[in-house]
């Protein structure tokens, strides 16, 4: 009799697990829940920095943008620079 109770308990537990798995597979959250969860994770991951950092601008800390390209005066200068460059040999 004791073995039958254990067997029924195990079968019932496996049945509950199978039903729970099927429910979780079919469970779909609406888009606003995903957006709120993403915002919560972003705030929680930056909690140690403080929430004021997000809304406050520090005076005197503006980043200066520097140009990354140079202006070529003439086509001849461009051709001379191209001739100075040597490609490395291929292996």
* Per-residue pLDDT tens digits for 17-44: 999 999 988 888 788 888 999 999 988 8
10, pLDDT greater than 60:
yes
Please choose, from the candidates 64, 45, 43, 44, the residue with its C-alpha nearest in 3D space to the C-alpha of residue 55: 43
* The model scores a pTM over 0.85: no
Question: What's the rounded Cα separation, in Å, for the pair 80 and 83?
Answer: 5
Six-digit token string for 20:
């729970």
Six-digit token string for 59:
């005076």
pLDDT given at position 77: 63
H runs (alpha helix) in the chain: 2-26, 31-45, 52-55, 75-84
Model pLDDT for residues 52-84, shown as the tens digit of each residue: 666 665 555 556 666 666 665 666 666 666 666
pLDDT given at position 55: 64
């Amino acid at each position: 009799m004791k073995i039958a109770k254990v067997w029924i308990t195990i079968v019932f537990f496996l049945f509950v697990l199978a039903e729970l798995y099927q429910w979780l597979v079919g469970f779909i959250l609406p888009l606003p829940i995903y957006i709120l969860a993403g915002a919560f994770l972003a705030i929680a991951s930056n909690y140690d920095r403080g929430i004021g950092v997000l809304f406050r601008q520090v005076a005197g800390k503006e980043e200066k943008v520097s140009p990354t390209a140079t202006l070529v005066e003439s086509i001849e200068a461009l051709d001379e620079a191209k001739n100075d460059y040597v490609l490395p040999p291929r292996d």
